Chains A and B, each alone.
Chain A
Amino acid sequence: METGLIIAIATMGGLGLLFAGGLAFADKKLRVTENPLIGKVFEVLPGANCGGCGKAGCYDFAVNVVEGKAKINGCPVGGNETAEKIAQILGVEKGVSEKMLPRVLCRGGNKEAVKKMTEYLGPVSCEAITIISGGDKLCAYGCVGGGDCVNACPFDAMYMNDNGLPEILEDICTGCGICAKVCPRNVIEMHPATRTVFVLCKNQDEPKTAKEVCSVACIGCGICARKSEGGIEMRGYLPVINYDKLDEGLIPFDKCKTGAIVNLKKLS
């Protein structure tokens, strides 16, 4: 009996040692030298894998940051907080990560926009709507109200309001920019949160047509550009804001006939 016990112990011990030796050898041969910093950086990232940084996911971003190929403040979701943590891990100065927000540059909801004679009854998706007929509204530049942006938002930071336009919950929004990417008409643009002056219209039609398709369209009168002293420039029938030169005080917001140019700061 006792010999059996000893044999059992010896056999199992021997087998264990054999496998342990084999694994130790394999470990030496196959060891992957991964920078331990990558794991640490990965841990402080939000883990949403949204791709807002332009990398294939949070892990890929971590690898790039550690290798110096991506900026420390490159994660728009984590913002300053994450940038600070990464900076601590890597022992470098952090840059200031500017919070980006999507802006819906169209005010032509169901009330304002003029409808076509026919009604759109196809699939409710902006992509389908733009391909098939352009939707109910006459305006060929504005929001079609299919809600692709709302559906694409991974953080539930958007909703469609009663007027059929998307609204952004700025507190929840992380600025990943997915909504701007899915918008087939590029009505949604990403801007730093500090920017407050926007032309909330994308209509490039000539003034007469613009007036006919939407009550709040920019009619391209150019008054904002003339008064802005270079801060705003007319391109075709639409004013384009040069945020570097813009002086908010010069813009005659109340002179805009359709109210297409707004200062969000004053609205709220």
Chain B
Amino acid sequence: MEVILIFISAAIINNFVLSYFLGICPFIGVSNKISSAFSMGIATTFVLTVTAIVSWLIYFMILLPFKLEFLQYVAFILVIASLVQLVEMVIKKVSQPLYRALGIFLPLITTNCAILGLALFIVLRNYSFIESIFFGLGAGTGFTMAITIMAGIREELELANVPDAFKGAPITLIVAGILALAFMGFSGLL
């Protein structure tokens, strides 16, 4: 039960993008088309989940016993960077068009603060191994959901008559803000 609560909390109530405002860069950058936004969400979910697993192992199995907690940032960055490299290789192998559609935002998952944030949250909240996995999955699901919803709205936005001054990034940020407001409605759920 606890793990399901953690999952729902990370996915909806404390959504990484719309509640913590982590990972805004890909959220704005890759939300032009639903298909590529969804793929980005899946790639990020994968990285988040594996990061949760690996960083938990490294922190609680290696860093803590050796009293090397101060190295957590370096270690987590190392984990994330390697995982992103791996994901990049896999996507390039599996789908060339997707690889080109994601473009620079794929390597930029490395600097996606949502992922480092996740690793640090796990340490901060002292999650168990299983809890970490669900936390990672939940965060990824939340990110995928947010970016896909955003892409859906932006596809419609293309056809809308937006005032000149708001075209492009401004209206996107306003929509993101309204979306975040909507997600605040979930805050009483747990």
Contacts and interface: CB of A to CB of B under 8 A. Distances in A.
Interface string B92-134: 1100100010000000000000000000000000000000000
Interface string A68-80: 0000000000000
Contacts of A27: 89
Interface string B36-76: 00000000000000000000001000110011100100110
B82 interface: yes
A207 B173 CA distance: 61
A30 B78 contact: no
B89 A15 contact: no
Contact of B62 (A11, A19, A32): A11
Contact of A16 (B78, B96, B100): B78
Given A19-B78, A22-B82, A23-B86, A11 B93 contact: no
B79 interface: yes
Contacts of A4: 67-68
B187 interface: no
A4 B71 CA distance: 12
A207 B74 CA distance: 84
Nearest to B94: A30
Contacts of B79: 19
A11 B82 contact: no
- Is the contact region of chain A dominated by helix, strand, or loop, or is it mixed? helix
Contacts of B67: 4
Contacts of B100: 59
Given A15-B58, A59-B100, A8 B71 contact: yes
Contacts of A30: 89-90, 92-93
Contacts of B75: 12, 15
Contact of A26 (B63, B68, B89): B89
B59 to A, nearest CB: 12
Contacts of A15: 58, 62, 75, 78
A66 B147 CA distance: 36
Given A30-B92, A31-B93, 13 more contacts: A4-B68, A11-B62, A12-B75, A12-B78, A15-B58, A15-B62, A16-B78, A19-B82, A23-B85, A23-B86, A30-B93, A32-B96, A59-B100
10 contacts: A4-B67, A7-B66, A8-B71, A12-B71, A19-B79, A19-B82, A20-B82, A27-B89, A30-B90, A30-B93
5 closest A-B pairs by beta carbon, nearest first, are A19-B82, A30-B89, A30-B93, A7-B66, A32-B92
